[in-house]
Amino acid sequence: MSDKHSEITELLGPTVESLGLELLGIEYLPAPGGATLRLYIDVPADAGEAARTVTIEDCEAVSREVSAQLDVADPISGNYTLEVSSPGLDRPLFTPAHFSRFLGEQAKVSLKLPQDGRRRLQGRILRVEAGTVVFGLDGAEFAVAAENIDKARLVPDWAALGLAPNKYSPSNKGKPAPKTGNGSTGKQSSNKPAAGKPHAG
């Protein structure tokens, strides 16, 4: 995690917690003309509310509180847009504890520095030990230092979730079957309220 990421996470974490939520992590994406600051929030794992999920109202409440705090602390120079999102099914993983929570799940990972000729990998999360995340990859174990992980996301089993469309309809051989729902891939849309106008820092 960069110094900027650490600074913003430490600044905003208590504010999100005061609303009964957890700040999973942030993405700070600088770009010409204005950066994007994206916050991922969730219901704490130990909240005892198994059926509770992040709502649009949660995102809006966090956006209001965080916007005010950012305006005062001013940790970002220049214009930026604030987005507040639920993690979704392909949730991002920011810390070793996040990997521990989803042992046995598939994850897609990009590395800061190449390891064994790889900058990207996809494998099953086997275990987390001493700041290292061990993946099952190509029938072998592949250990990566947590500090060398740039970005990581879960890879949902869409078929198991009943969200993967069949490639072919059994009653119409040779032609692709229509996609389910509205034609999306089944990904859960993130709650991204219009978190206000771009900020000027």
More confident residue, 55 or 176: 55
Structural domains of the chain sorted by starting position, each given as residue range(s) with its CATH number in brackets: 3-88+189-200 (3.30.300.70), 96-154 (2.30.30.180)
For residue 178, pLDDT over 50 is answered with: no
Residue with tokens 């174990």: 141
Which of 3-12, 82-91, 172-181 holds the top average pLDDT? 82-91
Question: CA-to-CA distance for 192 and 82, rounded, in angstroms?
Answer: 9
The larger pLDDT score, comparing residue 18 to residue 44, is at 18
CA distance 171 to 179: 15
The closest alpha carbon to 200, from 57, 104, 81, belongs to 81
pLDDT at 48: 58
What are the pLDDT digits (tens) for 125-168?
A: 999 998 999 999 989 999 999 999 999 999 998 777 777 655 54
Q: What is the pLDDT of residue 39?
A: 97
Q: What is the pLDDT of residues 21-79, one digit of tens each?
A: 999 999 988 888 888 999 999 998 776 555 678 999 999 999 999 999 999 998 888 88
The 8-class DSSP code of residue 143 comes to: E
